[in-house]
Amino acid sequence: MAKRELQEINAGSMADIAFLLLIFFLVTTTMDKDTAFVRSIPKKVEVKQDPVEVEERNILAIKANNQNQLMVRGEIFSDPSQISEFILKFYKTNEINNDVANNFPLYSHTSMKQIDDNIRLVESEAEDLENKGAVKSMIEFKYTQLEEWIKKKRALELLGGKDLPEIHFQANIRIEVQQATSYEIFAQIQTEIQEAIYKLRDDKAQELWGESYGMLKRKFDAENGAQEKAKLDLLDILYPARIIEVTPKK
């Protein structure tokens, strides 16, 4: 039999196939990013407790009613973009010097010695509990406390100076909305809070390390470095974002 020459495969329709695939991907995918405010929900409490008394100066209540009107600490805000400035004031007023006369949260200044003392104290307490065979949750609680103190120690080491300024532990920003408040307003309040916290941390990061907070976070996301972690922890301790979202009444 004579040898038959192999025919080349016709690749002319390759482009068509590729186009089909391309169009399929164009239709089924989206370009836009998913951006959101990530918040945590408090754990459900099984045992009913009496609410803890909080001083008025420690609360920054941002309220929005059914007509989408805003009120911050009893004052009506017609322009929501002013809220972030108010939040800055809430954090900054007493940062350097405590002044009891104004209505903003006070700061505590913890020295390295106090932190060391507390670490030792909590450590011994934890050991004590373990020896006594206390409830597991109690021991765990002590250990988380210990961890917090160690974190503070690291923060102060990084910050330098003689003490660690901390806003009052009860200082919080609370969002109080009503049933029919639109989501747009809710998102706006969240934006303003985020904006303020970002500004505070960014300024501090610039001052301490000449680095922007956004850059720091991006670096941490990319490399998971210990140094970035320590810096972010410090900023978190200096300007904690304690946001309480109050469930609206029916």
Residues that bind another protein (CB under 8 A): 11-12, 14-15, 17-19, 21-22, 25-26, 28-44, 64, 177-188, 190-191, 194-195, 198, 221, 245, 247-248, 250
Residue 48 C-beta: closest distance to another protein, Å: 15
Contact 171, 58 (CB under 8 A): yes
For residue 138, the SS3 value is helix
Helix (H, G, I), strand (E, B) or coil at 70: strand
Residue 79 CB, nearest distance to another protein (Å)? 16
Which residues, 6 or more positions from 67, have their beta carbon under 8 angstroms from its beta carbon? none
Taking the complex as a whole, how short is the minimal distance between the CB of residue 75 and another protein, in angstroms? 21
* Shortest distance in whole angstroms from residue 164 CB to another protein: 26
Complex with another protein: residue 56 or 184, whichever CB lies closer = 184
Kind of pairing between the strands at 163-167 and 107-111: antiparallel
Judged by beta carbon, residue 195 or residue 233, the one nearer another protein is: 195
The two three-digit tokens of residue 39, written as one number: 């918040």
Nearer to another protein, 67 or 131 (CB): 67
Please say which residue, 21 or 121, places its beta carbon nearer to another protein.
21
Tokens of residue 42, six digits:
């408090």
Are 94 and 107 in contact, with CB atoms under 8 Å apart?
A: yes
Minimum CB–partner distance for residue 62 and another protein (Å): 13
Tokens of 223: 């490399």
Calpha distance 77→90 (Å, rounded): 16
- C-beta of 145 vs 188, nearer to another protein: 188
